[in-house]
């Protein structure tokens, strides 16, 4: 049996809602980007939209427990939920402590929930490539809600914001003052702010965020990000969080801004894929490693020449890439 | 006075070891990548190599305090130290708590130490572009040691490993078991493992790492990464950490592997810059935003068509990028 037969059979079982087939297809797209085009070629007549939520925040703010609670509540309500966890410190991904993982087991066993965790690197074409393909598989599988849990520390993680419709930014009491929130670059992306571990306080940070929102033009768009407080261990505040997510969904749908969000998802995917392809062409066909190697060797003794060397390379690239007029 | 005059004057003051000029040049290269080529064009006759160290780990492991202690010890020993902090939760970058920041003030005021912190996003051309340019400025300024402190969570952060000679991976007791360390993707990059907060234990994790190193082919390269324990608050173990960094430096120099590390730095920089340039050419000259926008709009109703659309785009890219034979 060759790989294509295998993919066809898996797709068949996938369409019959076989979770093992889903798991196997995810592994395929994770490890081999080219398999995605084979898988999705037969999905054209499938019409299904999932609502895609991002939950982001620094390690240790309780994102995973929160994600688990939200997923559990939705699942109990009859919704099918697909989770993608991109956080090396998440209990889903194998991080965190035993207590968390025991709590997580309850969720992973729920028939309405499917969880996939990704490492934060090593993916051909990058994390967001893998995340995009998995959301597409979840949509085809008929998930009502997709939750992408990411650690909001680095650049790559924040970019996952481009792939979701509602971004929940999770903070904790003691996170710091307004300047730190701004520095971390998360104040621009939140559609909902959620202060977790409310048993430790957090009213001060809520006020800080509200003040920042007062100053911001974001609020003129018609949606003022609410600032919520939860305790993800006890489940306190989870219902309100879900309610606000649905409110944001309704806002996007009524204002037709959901179309913009959807378009943005594809736009991001297209641009990322193109950059990836172009990179390959450049390094495999236009410049060989030896040429670049020799330039790098020269730089060991002339490091400040780097920009002169780059200028020459750019010149060659310009020569080789021609614009049709 | 135009910008070029300004740059020339700043470079003059920079060469006279004016720290304000250094700070201003850093701001220039941070905000405007094109200024780097103007700045470095007159640096050709400067011959100075700094030794470049990376200190990485998850938020909360005490990287900044450790970096501060290492820098302080080196500075007291007469070394000139340049620090680049790429961590939104670092006290250098404005994160963390007041106590840390007060501790940090002592270091920032030392005449032999210069600190620059970067946000983790928003840089034209990416974080590592900015980091590279700043190391180059530090080298030109005559720093003996450059320390790059990064949060080791995301992909972009781990890539900074390519820009340093010795990578110190910081862990803490309770971080978890061997599988988690492997998952986080840090076991491949450490040249020195440092378990901080040793007052909380950590012997177990040290054993785990040693076992992993026993299994690893990394140790056949001639350098077995040592596993150290520190308490960055009290300063315990800092001297040994510095000693091991110097041992690794000596190992690289005697084996001439330092040349490979240096070459890797430039290679990384060249590749990154080229991808950046090509991206610009592609999106500004080959495809306009309208074309891509229209494709994205079509996908809203036919999302599983994405890979067919991409195939067509790839085909156009191939047509437009021609290889000279």
Helices (H), strands (E): how many in chain B?
13, 7
Six-digit token pair at B165?
């000679």
SS3 A293: helix
Distance from CA of A24 to the nearest CA of B (A): 18
Return the exposure string of A178-207: e unless at least 16 CB atoms fall within 10 Å of the residue's CB, then b: eebbebbbbbebbbbbbbbbbeeebeebbe
| Model pLDDT, residue A215 | 78
Length of chain A: 325
Q: What gap in Å lies between CA A249 and CA A266, rounded to an integer?
A: 19
| Statement: the pTM of the whole predicted model exceeds 0.90 | no
Six-digit token pair at B31?
């905000």
Partner-chain contact B313 A274, CB within 8 Å: yes
| Model pLDDT, residue B260 | 93
Domain A48-256 sits in CATH at 3.40.50.300
pLDDT band at A225 (very low <50, low <70, confident <90, very high): very high
| Model pLDDT, residue B53 | 97
- How much is the average pLDDT of A42-48? 83
Is the model more confident about A77 or about A161? A77
Q: What are phi and psi of A112, to 5 degrees?
A: -90, 0
Q: In chain A, what are the domain boundaries?
A: 1-45, 48-256, 271-320
pLDDT band at A323 (very low <50, low <70, confident <90, very high): very low
Partner-chain contact B36 A307, CB within 8 Å: yes
| Model pLDDT, residue B129 | 84
Sheet holding B145-151, edge to edge: B113-118, B81-86, B145-151, B51-57, B166-171, B192-195, B227-229
| Model pLDDT, residue B323 | 47
Q: Is A60 on the interface with B (CB under 8 A)?
A: yes
Write the class of the CATH domain B48-255: alpha beta
Across the 325 residues of chain B, what is the mean pLDDT of every consecutive 10-residue run?
76 94 93 88 86 87 90 96 79 52 71 85 68 94 95 65 92 66 67 90 84 75 92 94 98 95 91 81 75 90 88 76 49
Judged against a pLDDT cut of 90, whether residue A63 lies above it is answered with no
Q: What gap in Å lies between CA B22 and CA B30, rounded to an integer?
A: 12
Partner-chain contact A270 B95, CB within 8 Å: no
Q: Is A314 on the interface with B (CB under 8 A)?
A: yes
B84 forms beta bridges with B116, B148
Partner-chain contact B41 A308, CB within 8 Å: yes
Q: What gap in Å lies between CA B225 and CA B244, rounded to an integer?
A: 9
Tell which B residues from 249 to 278 touch A, by Cβ distance under 8 Å.
259, 262-264, 266-267, 269-271, 273-275, 277-278
Closest CA to A73 of A26, A41, A40, A110: A110
Q: CA of A245: how far to CAs of A236, A239, B166, B233, in Å?
A: 16, 10, 45, 42
Distance from CA of residue A242 to its chain's centroid? Answer: 19
- Answer yes or no: are the C-beta atoms of A286 and B323 closer than 8 Å: yes
B176 forms beta bridges with none
Distance from CA of B52 to the nearest CA of A (A): 14
């Amino acid at each position: 049996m060759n790989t294509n037969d295998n993919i066809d059979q898996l797709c068949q079982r996938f369409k019959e809602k076989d979770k093992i087939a889903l798991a196997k297809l995810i592994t395929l797209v994770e490890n081999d980007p080219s398999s995605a085009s084979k898988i999705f070629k037969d999905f054209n007549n499938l019409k299904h939209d999932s609502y895609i939520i991002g939950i982001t925040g620094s390690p240790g703010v309780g994102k995973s427990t929160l994600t688990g609670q939200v997923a559990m509540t939705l699942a109990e309500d009859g919704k099918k939920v697909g989770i993608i966890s991109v956080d090396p410190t998440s209990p889903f991904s194998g991080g965190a402590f035993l207590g968390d993982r025991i709590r997580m087991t309850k969720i992973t066993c729920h028939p309405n929930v499917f969880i996939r965790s990704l490492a934060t690197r090593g993916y051909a074409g990058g994390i967001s490539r893998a995340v995009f393909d998995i959301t597409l598989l979840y949509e085809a599988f008929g998930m009502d809600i997709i939750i992408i849990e990411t650690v909001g520390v680095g650049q790559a993680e924040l970019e996952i914001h481009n792939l979701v419709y509602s971004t929940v930014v999770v903070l904790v009491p003691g996170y710091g003052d307004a300047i730190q929130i701004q520095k971390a670059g998360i104040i621009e992306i939140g559609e909902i702010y959620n202060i977790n571990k409310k048993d430790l306080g957090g009213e001060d940070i809520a006020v800080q965020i509200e003040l920042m929102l007062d100053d911001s033009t974001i609020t003129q768009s018609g949606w003022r990000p609410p600032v919520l407080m939860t305790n993800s261990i006890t489940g306190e505040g989870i219902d309100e969080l879900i309610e606000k997510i649905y409110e944001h969904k309704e806002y996007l749908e009524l204002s037709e801004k959901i179309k913009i969000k959807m378009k943005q998802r594809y736009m991001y995917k297209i641009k990322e894929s193109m950059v990836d392809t172009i990179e390959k062409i450049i390094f495999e066909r236009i410049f060989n490693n030896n040429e670049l190697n020799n330039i790098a060797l020269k730089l060991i003794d002339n490091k400040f020449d780097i920009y002169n060397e780059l200028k020459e390379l750019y010149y060659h690239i310009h020569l080789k890439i021609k614009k049709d007029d």
